[in-house]
Amino acid sequence: MKNQKSNLGFNTAPVFFTAISTILGAILFLRFGMAVGNLGFYGALGIIILGHLITIPTALAISEIATNTRVEGGGEYFIISRSFGLNIGATIGIALYFSQAISVAFYVIAFTEAFEPFFYWFLAKFNFVLPRQVISVPALIALGVTILKKGSDLGIKTLYFVVAILFLSLALFFFGDSNLPAGEANPNFVFSNKNQFFIWFAICFPAFTGMTAGVGLSGDLKDPKKSIPRGTIWGTIIGMLMYIFIIYKFSISSTPEDMTSNQLAMANVAILGAVIIPLGLGASTISSAIGSVLVAPRTLQALAIDNSLPIVRLNRWLAKGKGDMNEPFNATFVTLAIALIFVMIGEVNFVAQIISMFFMITYGSLCLISFLNHFGASPSYRPQFKSHWMISLTGLLLSVWAMFKINAFYSILACVIITLTYLYINAVHKERGGLQKIFVGALYQLSRRIQLYLQKNRIHHPDDEEWRPSAICISSNSFKHEKIFSLMKWISYKHGFGTYFHFLKGYYSRANRMKAVKIVNDMIDEHHDQESSLYVDCMISPSYTSAIAQAIQSPSISGMQNNMIIFEYRRDEGDALDSLLDNISLTQAGNYDICVFSDANKHTSFKNGIHIWIRHIDILNANLMILLGFIILSHPDWKKGFVKIFSICDENEVVNTRKVLQDLVQEGRLPITLSNIEIIATTEGKPVKKLIVEKSSKAGLTIIGFREEQIKHSGNQVFLGFEAMGDMLFVNANNSQNIKDPDQ
């Protein structure tokens, strides 16, 4: 079957002729003379240069992607969908299809202008303005019937005939005489009416959109990887050179008044211009219409084959082809029906602006694909033809910029339509790739480069490095204890980084690996909201101690070294503390700050704030406790919360302690009022634990320091006696942290 299709397919010529006949189309004959008349040679040259700064990168991007991807039917749609994913491809493909379908109407309406002498004669003879539809509607019907009956083969043969007429008319134009007054300075070699440049750019830009027209024949080509790059690039380059020669010929042959007053100003220059220029206009517009009526149905058919449309039966009906070449008969019928509606409306300027918007989106998308593939392509991306990432980026930026320069309202409208279409398709086809497929490869590469940069440029003097938490937590209670996920999210939300490992006890095996994959996916589904900055993973190990040893040696995804480990237990689960105490000394060997989270298993009262208790044993812990308090407070969950600091000291140290804390708050610009600092003298005679319970039992979170010596001496008693409290975080700092003035 493959060989049969190969024998029936077309070579490069149809791609080139479809592109060049669409480029040298209606705008060339009807508007470029007026552009030269209004802007002068240099202004018109600026239009050509700017237009091709957009189209050439797109042509190169298409050529690159087409030589890597097995291009089938659907042209640009196929390339985008197989590079971006089916949902993005369908979104842009639908917009592209409507642009191509409406282009059929645009070219048929322009074709009618070739009969302008007939309409003038009819008005003079019968004193009646004949509507343009008397020509355009029969022309569209005749074109449609021909294509439906004979298929693309006849369309291609007709294309060769009309291209020959097109080039004959251009040849006679170039050999035509000059109408400029002899002996006078040429007024065209200036850049006049600069304020109108983008008005005329908007009018003339559709002339350049034809360079991708031949890509739509991808399903009918013998070798798309060879024909698409050659046909597209040659069509674009030759089209650009032809436009430069044409505006130069206009500039040396006609006065500005002649060009601005007559949309068929070429007829005043060309040999036999009264006949050959309307004939050339007719040939160019009908060839462009043929190209569009060949391409648009194939885009629609490819969309239907991928089940991109919302109605299943409609997909099946539009996907059906006819004959050995699988001609899109039904899709052609629908395309002609859409074109007929716009032909009846007959608003060329409105149609042209809408077409330009959607073509710009398509061009920008193609350049974006090429740009991202330069940085994040998989090993399977090995195009035979390569563009440069700067060229692709230029095409992308200029496409977006030109859209808004042409018409900001239509640009916004096009973006809104594209967004709504994507949201709908993504809702219908949730199982297919969405936006994430566009950037995932580039993000992987960006992440890799950032990690390497951070490792190579890591500061080796801790005193010179500004501290931020990079915390890890290992627990087997991932689906029973939810509070630990909240704590990790609070710490990693804005200023820090957090990695949570589910501990899966056992040896590494295929079965356990599959379990681990499922656990990670379940954790992502359950705990990854849009604001979460927490990274989750699964650690398979024969014991909790070996899992901790593995985790504390693992690199952080942040690029910096992990510096904090968080143990967690639920207060009502009996001997849960025992396994934690056995492993605290292990983590201290790695210079880690150690936190023990005591989950009260009850609702967190955020409005009651965060209480921080500082005792005489917290010389190293104090600053870390305060920093953690304000890092946690920055999370939106605590937006109605506050931080209150309690400091327990000897009676003769009260004044000095208050001054130290006040200076710390003021110099560090901590968002805490002096009324939220309470100094408690030890002479009050109450045990410290009883004092903490009395003053902080209703706090949303209480932070207390501890030292390793306490655990060696008292064991789990360090963490007991707080049954009436809410959630608690016990902190043991490896080093004293600096609370810096933000201006220093």
- Measured N-to-C along each axis, helices 197-204 and 389-406 cross at an angle, to the nearest 10 degrees, of 110
| Rounded average pLDDT over 434-447 | 63
Across all residues in the chain, what is the average pLDDT? 81
pLDDT at site 743: 42
Alpha-helix runs per DSSP H in 668-734 = 688-696, 708-714
707 to 489, 620, 721: CA distances (angstroms): 25, 9, 17
Share of the chain above pLDDT 70, in %: 82
Fold of 2-180+188-431: Amino acid/polyamine transporter I (1.20.1740)
Q: Indicate the pLDDT class of residue 218, thresholds 50, 70 and 90.
A: low
Does residue 457 carry a pLDDT above 70? Answer: no
pLDDT at site 587: 78
Q: How many CB atoms lie within 10 A of CB 676?
A: 16
- Max avg pLDDT among 64-78, 215-229, 274-288, 481-495: 481-495
pLDDT tens digits, residue range 535-594? 899 999 999 889 988 888 877 766 667 889 999 999 888 677 877 887 887 777 777 899
| Rounded average pLDDT over 704-711 | 88
pLDDT tens digits, residue range 3-30? 444 444 567 777 787 778 778 877 888 8
Residues 615, 637 contacting (CB under 8 angstroms): no
pLDDT at site 62: 76
Residue with the bigger pLDDT between 607 and 264: it is 607
pLDDT at site 1: 40
Q: How many CB atoms lie within 10 A of CB 520?
A: 16
Domain 602-744 annotated CATH 3.40.50.620: yes
Q: Indicate the pLDDT class of residue 372, thresholds 50, 70 and 90.
A: confident
Whether the pTM exceeds 0.75: the reply is: no
In angstroms, rounded to a whole number, what is the distance separating the alpha carbons of residues 281 and 275?
10
pLDDT at site 741: 45
Q: DSSP state, 268?
A: G
| Rounded average pLDDT over 83-103 | 81
- Measured N-to-C along each axis, helices 621-633 and 483-492 cross at an angle, to the nearest 10 degrees, of 100
Q: Indicate the pLDDT class of residue 698, thresholds 50, 70 and 90.
A: very high
pLDDT at site 528: 67
pLDDT at site 383: 74
Q: Indicate the pLDDT class of residue 219, thresholds 50, 70 and 90.
A: low
Does residue 448 carry a pLDDT above 50? Answer: yes
Q: Indicate the pLDDT class of residue 444, thresholds 50, 70 and 90.
A: low
pLDDT tens digits, residue range 220-266? 667 776 777 788 888 888 889 999 999 999 999 988 988 888 888 88
CATH 1.20.1740.10 residue ranges of the chain are: 2-180+188-431
Does residue 627 carry a pLDDT above 80? Answer: yes
CATH 3.40.50.620 residue ranges of the chain are: 602-744
- Burial of residue 16 (CB within 10 Å: 0-12, 13-18, 19+) is buried
SS (H, E, C) 409-466: HHHHHHHHHHHHHHHHHHHHCCCCCCCHHHHHHHHHHHHHHHHHHHHHCCCCCHHHCC
pLDDT at site 529: 60
Q: Indicate the pLDDT class of residue 503, thresholds 50, 70 and 90.
A: very high
pLDDT tens digits, residue range 583-594? 887 777 777 899
Residue with the bigger pLDDT between 339 and 292: it is 339
pLDDT at site 220: 61
Does residue 322 carry a pLDDT above 90? Answer: no
pLDDT at site 207: 81
* Collapsed DSSP state (helix, strand, coil) of residue 701: strand
pLDDT tens digits, residue range 138-170? 988 888 888 777 665 555 666 677 778 888 988
Does residue 744 carry a pLDDT above 50? Answer: no
| Rounded average pLDDT over 687-714 | 90
Residues 697, 664 contacting (CB under 8 angstroms): no
| Rounded average pLDDT over 326-331 | 83
Residues 324, 9 contacting (CB under 8 angstroms): no
Which own/partner contact pairs does 459-468 have at CB distance under 8 Å and 24+ positions apart? 462/735, 466/740, 467/563, 467/627, 467/737, 467/738, 468/495, 468/496, 468/497, 468/560
Terminal-to-terminal C-alpha distance of the chain: 73
pLDDT tens digits, residue range 173-211? 999 988 887 667 788 888 888 888 887 887 788 788 777
Residues 517, 659 contacting (CB under 8 angstroms): no
- Max avg pLDDT among 365-369, 376-380, 729-733, 734-738: 729-733
Whether the CA torsion 284, 290, 293, 294 is positive or negative: it is negative
Q: What is the β-pairing status of strands 564-570 and 610-614?
A: unpaired
Q: DSSP state, 713?
A: H
Q: How many CB atoms lie within 10 A of CB 690?
A: 10
* Collapsed DSSP state (helix, strand, coil) of residue 384: coil
Whether the CA torsion 86, 88, 92, 94 is positive or negative: it is positive
Does residue 449 carry a pLDDT above 50? Answer: yes
| Rounded average pLDDT over 69-93 | 73
Picking from 132, 94, 84, 126, the residue whose alpha carbon sits closest to that of residue 112 is: 132
Does residue 338 carry a pLDDT above 60? Answer: yes
Least reliable range by pLDDT among 65-69, 91-95, 291-295: 65-69
Q: Indicate the pLDDT class of residue 474, thresholds 50, 70 and 90.
A: very high
